Structure 1
Amino acid sequence: MLVGIALVVFAGIYMLRAFQKYVERKRADLEQSRTERARGVDNEKALSTFQKKLCPSCDKPWHLGGEQAAYCIHCGLNLFKVCACGGRNFAFFPFCNQCGEPVTEMVEPRSAEPGERPPAGN
C-alpha cells in the first residue's frame, strides 16, 4: 500500500512539473511576435488544430470569433488568408483550396477603415 501511495505522489509531482514547463513554454510563445509564432508552427500541428478549430499557437478555440474570423481572438495569430483567386484558406495550408495554386501569393484580408462598413459576404 505504501508503494502505491509513493507512486501516486511521484507521478503527481512529475505531472505538475511537466504542466509547469508547458505553461512556461506557452507564455514564452505568446511573448513572440505573430510572425515568429506562425513560423514556429509545424504543418502537422496546424492541420490537427484546424480540424479541432483550435489556434495552433495558443490552443484556444478560434471559431468563437465567428466562422469567418481571420485572426485568433485570444492571441492575434493570423489564421486565414485570401488567395489571389479570392479563395479563403487556412494560413498554414500549402495550396489554395479554390484554385490549387501554392499559397505563396496570399494577400492579407483588407480591414475596414474606421467608420467604414466591411465588404458584404466577409
Structure 2
Amino acid sequence: MIRRILEEIERMGDPLSLLDPVTVRTGIDRIHLEIALALHLHGSFRRAGEALNMKTSTISRRVRDLEFQLGGPIFERQKRRLVPTPSGRVFLRRSGEILTSFHALVEAVRNFTDGK
C-alpha cells in the first residue's frame, strides 16, 4: 500500500508545480466549496446552514465572498430557491471532484500514518 502511494506521488511529480499562483491567491478554500455544494443540495441558505452547523449570515457572507473572488454569481436566486448559473454548474462539478480528492488524500495519509 505504501509503495503504491509513493509510486503515485512520484508519477505526479512536484505537486507544487501544479499550483497556479493566481489560484493560490484567490482566498477560496475548502469551506467555500462545501458551502456551495450544500446550497445546491439543500436549495436555501437556511437549510445549508443547518446542514453545515453554520449561521445563515455566515453562509451568505461566504457566498458573497466566493462570488466576488470568482467574478460573478454561481447561483441565481429564484422564488426562495437557489439555482446554479452555467458557471455555477461548472464550479459545483469541479468542487465535488476536488472535495472527493481531498477526502481521499486525507484518508490515504491517515492510512499511511496508521501503518496500513
TM-score, normalised relative to structure 2: 0.24
Higher helix share: 2
Q: Based on CA coordinates, which of the two structures has the bigger radius of gyration?
A: 1
Higher relative contact order (CA 8 A, sep 6+): 2
Q: What is the TM-score normalised by the length of structure 1?
A: 0.24
